[in-house]
Amino acid sequence: MAIIETKNLSRLYQDGDHIIHAVDKVNLEIEAGEFTAIVGPSGSGKTTLLNLIGGLDSPTEGEVIVDGKAIHKLKDNALINFRLQHIGFVFQAYNLIPVLSAQENVEFIMLLQNASARERKTRAQELLKAVGLEAQMHKRPAELSGGQQQRVAVARALASKPSFVLADEPTANLDSKSTEDLLDIMHKLNQEEGITFIFSTHDQRVIDRASRIIYVEDGQIKENH
Amino acid sequence: MKTVFKIAWRNIWRNKLRSAVVVCSIFLGIWAGIFVSAFSFGLNEQRKESMIRNQISHIQIHNSTWLDQKEVAYTFSATAVDDYLNKDPRLKAYATRSKASGMVSSAHYSGAAQIIGVNPNAEAALSNLEEKLTEGEYFPEKGRNPVLIGRALAKKLEAKIGSRIILNFSDGQGNIISSAFKVKGLYKDVSSKMEELNLYVRQSDLQTLLGLESVQVHEIAALLKEDADIEILQQELQANFPALAIQSWKQISPELAYADEIMTQMLYIIIGIIMLALSFGIINTMLMAVLERRKELGMLMCVGMSRTKVFSMIMVETFYLALLGGPLGILFAYYSVWQGSKSGLDLAAFSDGLATYGIDSVIYPALPTSFYWGTTLLVFIMTLLAAIYPARRALKLNPVETLRTI
């Protein structure tokens, strides 16, 4: 069963007299356990599509159904709560909370879910161990390298036990070694624990690891295999 | 909420210098505001006490016609009132006075004078006339017609201790009386105008010259132990002696009573203005903090932090800043006022100017305790209001726009 489904999904923007079709009548289904890369040139609509799937943006037309729920119909607070419970996010610029340690950053999401202190601590430590950061748990983001920060971001994204993880150009700011390490971790989590990852990327190394590639151009899906 | 408090606390120390500057400005603003208020309040209290002690007392009793026409003839018999007051335990002191308006002259100067006949012992207990003497003796037992004059008048008359001066005034029948008095003492008053105008003679001497009996007086002035009893005693006296005019200090000197009444409001206005200025500083700082962290706040909303929590976090950050500086400022101000109230602030350089307004050159800051509580409440309200705008700005952030990408 598809965990994500879009039906005639469109997002239009007004730019002066022009209407831009950032996403244009996209029909898409993503199954659980996929390791999907959304690729395409700059301005093709990759990020807008990811924003719509993640409930961060509202469609002009069409539907977004996640875990059987039509999220485009949800009100603001309900949508925020839905994101918290169902979707993990990894950002290009890591976006960790600078005043919290790596472990606290991971625990933060569980705190928002009202998890117990013991559960938070155990899971945060497990996740940080899974991404190879058991020695850096108590360091703040400024004390970590870019690759390490992005691994914390992956651990944080998984902390809420989401249905899937959306990652926007997660390797864009990383060097080759860090990119390989991060991809290894995410691929392992996908293979061994069945976690669904959906990336937007330009990076050929990410594309090479993907189980499915969706090519987007001018807001439309041109290839899907 | 615990996380919100924790993150908020750490957030305010991200930019230590900026937070420290805001905390210091709140601290200094509140400290200065309270201290200036205490200075003003203390100054006003001293002026009031000085006026009451030196001139008007708490209660004055007169022949009701004397209030409109201050003529020698409008006396009243002090016997019944004297008996009444003598038994009242609420009184600290009281004294009878006789008064006459006239002229004072010497070989060098001649001018208007208010001649006040006092009972030396009772007057010493009531007012600080004896303490105000800078030269000479306070109504020595020996010698005829002693007079105490102010230093300013002595200068104009070119009179010294032992000099003779002439007092001219009319008696109850309109006859002009001219009598020689011997200067026995010079006094210093809070106001040079008072020094020039008022002369003190023995009441018995003045009554004799005016042709009045010893029980016929123009004024009884009374000082009470407790301020709260003033109006009560005034009403009791009025009920017992309806033919007399019984006035409290507030009626005798309405401008002094008005200054006393509006003082507290003035103090809150002073502190309110300071806090308004401080609140703009807080708003500015928190707004900068919000705008600098747009991306982070957007991320928090993306991953599932509710807008209510984001709003609360900014509110809490603002409160932390104010609650660090505010209570510190209030406590330090309390200590400064306490110290100042013991040692006083010597404004000797301005003593002449202050004396013109009847104020001593050493000012003792003072504030009612309620003012500290009021200020604490104002700090709380000011912080609440200052926090709302930056927090609302955070609330209105669009996560997608702040992150541009997810």
Can you tell me whether residue A19 is helix, strand or coil? strand
Tens-place pLDDT, residues B341-360: 998 888 877 777 776 666 67
Cα–Cα distance for residue pair A39/A200, rounded to 1 Å: 6
- A76, A83, A168 ranked by CB distance to B304: nearest: A83
Mean pLDDT value of segment B300-328: 88
Is B406 in Cβ contact with A168 (below 8 Å)? yes
In A, which residues are within 8 Å of B3 by CB distance? Answer: 108, 111-112
Is A100 in Cβ contact with B7 (below 8 Å)? yes
pLDDT at B331 over 70: yes
Tens-place pLDDT, residues B319-329: 898 888 888 99
Q: Which residues contact A216 (CB under 8 A, 6 or more apart)?
A: A38, A39, A40, A44, A45, A46, A49, A222
How close is the nearest chain B Cα to the Cα of A152, in Å? Answer: 14
> How wide is the angle at C-alpha B37 spanned by C-alphas B32 and B43, nearest 5°?
125
Mean pLDDT value of segment B293-306: 86
pLDDT, averaged across chain A = 89
Is B302 in Cβ contact with A83 (below 8 Å)? yes
- Determine the pLDDT at residue B404: 62
Cα–Cα distance for residue pair B291/B313, rounded to 1 Å: 14
Is A99 in Cβ contact with B14 (below 8 Å)? yes
In order, the DSSP letters of A164-219 are EEEEESTTTT--HHHHHHHHHHHHHHHHHH--EEEEEE--HHHHHH-SEEEEEETT
Amino acid at A60: T
Task: Name the residue in chain B with its Cα closest to that of A79.
Answer: B304
Q: Which two tokens stand for residue B213?
A: 């009996």
pLDDT, averaged across chain B = 89
Say whether residue A112 is in contact with chain B using an 8 A CB cutoff.
yes
Say whether residue A121 is in contact with chain B using an 8 A CB cutoff.
no
In A, which residues are within 8 Å of B301 by CB distance? Answer: 80
Task: Name the residue in chain B with its Cα closest to that of A55.
Answer: B302
Q: Taking CB atoms and an 8 Å cut-off, how many pairs form between chains A and B?
A: 72
How close is the nearest chain B Cα to the Cα of A88, in Å? Answer: 7
pLDDT at B174 over 70: yes
Is B3 in Cβ contact with A111 (below 8 Å)? yes
**Which residues, listed in sequence order, are joined to residue A200 by a DSSP beta bridge?**
A38, A168
Residue B341, Cβ density class (10 Å: 0-12 exposed, 13-18 middle, ≥19 buried): middle
How close is the nearest chain B Cα to the Cα of A149, in Å? Answer: 15
Tens-place pLDDT, residues B51-80: 888 888 999 999 999 888 888 889 999 999
Mean pLDDT value of segment B160-186: 91
Say whether residue A111 is in contact with chain B using an 8 A CB cutoff.
yes
In A, which residues are within 8 Å of B14 by CB distance? Answer: 98-99
Cα–Cα distance for residue pair A166/A157, rounded to 1 Å: 9
- Determine the pLDDT at residue B356: 65
Which residue blocks in A57-203 are alpha helix, DSSP H?
76-86, 102-112, 117-130, 146-159, 176-193
Mean pLDDT value of segment B248-277: 88
Tens-place pLDDT, residues B8-28: 888 888 888 888 988 898 899
Query: Would you state the torsion angle of the CA atoms of residues B52, B55, B57, B60, taken in this order, to the nearest 10 degrees?
Result: -140
Q: Which two tokens stand for residue A122?
A: 């155990």
Cα–Cα distance for residue pair B344/B363, rounded to 1 Å: 5
Cα–Cα distance for residue pair A12/B319, rounded to 1 Å: 42
In B, which residues are within 8 Å of A85 by CB distance? Answer: 304
3-state secondary structure chain B: CHHHHHHHHHHHCCCHHHHHHHHHHHHHHHHHHHHHHHHHHHHHHHHHHHHHHHHHCCEEEEECCCCCCCCCCCCEECHHHHHHHHHCCCEEEEEEEEEEEEEEECCCCEEEEEEEEECHHHHHHHCCCCCCEEEECCCCCCCCCEEEEEHHHHHHHCCCCCCEEEEEEECCCCCEEEEEEEEEEEECCCCHHHHHHEEEEEHHHHHHHHCCCCCEECEEEEEECCHHHHHHHHHHHHHHCCCEEEEEHHHHCHHHHHHHHHHHHHHHHHHHHHHHHHHHHHHHHHHHHHHHCHHHHHHHHHHCCCHHHHHHHHHHHHHHHHHHHHHHHHHHHHHHHHHHHHHCEECHHHHHHHHHCCCCCEECCCCCHHHHHHHHHHHHHHHHHHHHHHHHHHHCCCHHHHHCCC
Is B11 in Cβ contact with A99 (below 8 Å)? yes
- Determine the pLDDT at residue B406: 44
pLDDT at B249 over 90: yes
The residue ranking higher by pLDDT, B196 or B2, is B196
Cα–Cα distance for residue pair A50/B54, rounded to 1 Å: 85
Residue environment code for B157-180, b if the CB has 16+ CB neighbours within 10 A, otherwise e? bebeeebebbbbbbeeeeeebebe
Q: Which residues contact B384 (CB under 8 A, 6 or more apart)?
A: B315
pLDDT along chain A (225 residues), means of 10: 89 86 90 91 88 90 91 88 90 86 91 88 91 91 91 90 89 83 85 88 87 90 80
Task: Name the residue in chain B with its Cα closest to that of A90.
Answer: B406
For an interface test with B, the pick among A91, A149, A197, A200 (most B C-beta atoms closer than 10 Å) comes out as A91
Is A97 in Cβ contact with B406 (below 8 Å)? no
Q: What is the ipTM of this complex?
A: 0.85
Q: Are A200 and A46 in contact (CB under 8 A)?
A: yes
In B, which residues are within 8 Å of A50 by CB distance? Answer: 405-406
pLDDT at B264 over 90: no
How close is the nearest chain B Cα to the Cα of A86, in Å? Answer: 10
Q: Are A128 and A155 in contact (CB under 8 A)?
A: yes
Q: Which two tokens stand for residue A197?
A: 């990852």
Is A76 in Cβ contact with B303 (below 8 Å)? no
pLDDT at B405 over 60: no
Q: Are A200 and A168 in contact (CB under 8 A)?
A: yes
How close is the nearest chain A Cα to the Cα of B303, in Å? Answer: 6
In A, which residues are within 8 Å of B299 by CB distance? Answer: 91, 95
How close is the nearest chain A Cα to the Cα of B281, in Å? Answer: 24
In B, which residues are within 8 Å of A66 by CB distance? Answer: none
